[in-house]
Amino acid sequence: MTHSGSSLRNRLSQPEILLAPGVYDALSALLAEQAGAEALYLSGASISYTRLGRSDVGLMSVSEVADTLAMLCDRVQTPVIVDADNGYGNALNVQRTVRMFERAGAAMIQLEDQSYPKRCGHLAGKSLIPADAMAGKVRAALDARACDDTLIMARTDAIAVEGFDAALERAELYVEAGADVLFVEAPRDQAEMTQIIARFAHRLPLLANMVEGGNTPLKSKSDLQEIGYSLAIFPGGLVRAQTRATQAYFAQLIAEGTTANMLDKMADFTELNQIIGTPELQALGKSYDPQEGTS
């Protein structure tokens, strides 16, 4: 069986940019896969938004993310990139995180150079660990993985904290430490994005993070490919879209006391069961136990 990281590595070597939608649970992952996504991005922010109803300020634990990742990977075949925040501690914690996430099925594990409390890359008030400490975390992650096909992505949040030039210098250290993919977070304009590409794109794949309302200009997949990125994520777009849809649903339900006027905006009972594979699951159960579902 091909390791999902090997498939992802091969895909990133192709000329066309890879788009990875942000997901946060098994159902959102399944729907993205059914829509044709070639990779999925398990967003720490989106897990925090949906499981905790809280901001992305480092409240999620390593075990909560690992459990979510395992449920995704049990349901879908599409390679999953997982946001591992700052590794949940020092280099030894990073190694434990890598082992946990690799066992859960991650194709790529993303690590950032923030200290505590970590924050969303587009929130103010971030602080960083020393660059050499982060380079050590990258090396620790590489040493901890059981399979070389499990990709390690290094992210720097330095643009907002230390400035653009410092971010490039940090990124250089992380590339030298052996990162498979590089993520320079929150460039403020296309000129900065172009400089990042010019310095690093000939050496390893680069990721662009598209956050609606964030610090980086919101661009399309084709725009980002033209700039030179290999991978684009839209990590929180689904939650933002669902928030509006859910607000409208509850407002109408509470006002009207029924869902009868919303059926055109819903998957009904039968349709939802088709989407999630209930008939196939029932048939599989019956193949093992002929009495399954007969009572």
203-258 pLDDT per residue, tens: 999 999 999 999 999 999 999 999 999 999 999 999 999 999 999 999 999 999 99
- What's the farthest any 2 CA atoms get from each other in the chain? 69
Give the predicted TM-score (pTM) of the model. Answer: 0.95
Which residue in this structure is represented by tokens 């896969």?
Answer: 33
User: In whole angstroms, what is the distance from residue 108 CA to residue 114 CA?
Assistant: 19
User: In whole angstroms, what is the distance from residue 41 CA to residue 136 CA?
Assistant: 24
User: In whole angstroms, what is the distance from residue 184 CA to residue 167 CA?
Assistant: 7
Cβ-based neighbours of 276, under 8 Å, separated by 6 or more:
27, 30
Is the peptide bond between 217 and the residue preceding it cis, with omega within 30 degrees of 0? no
Average pLDDT, the chain: 95
Domains of the chain: 4-236 (3.20.20.60), 243-288 (no CATH)
Rounded to 5°, the CA angle 115-98-54 comes to: 50
Percent above pLDDT 70 for the chain: 97
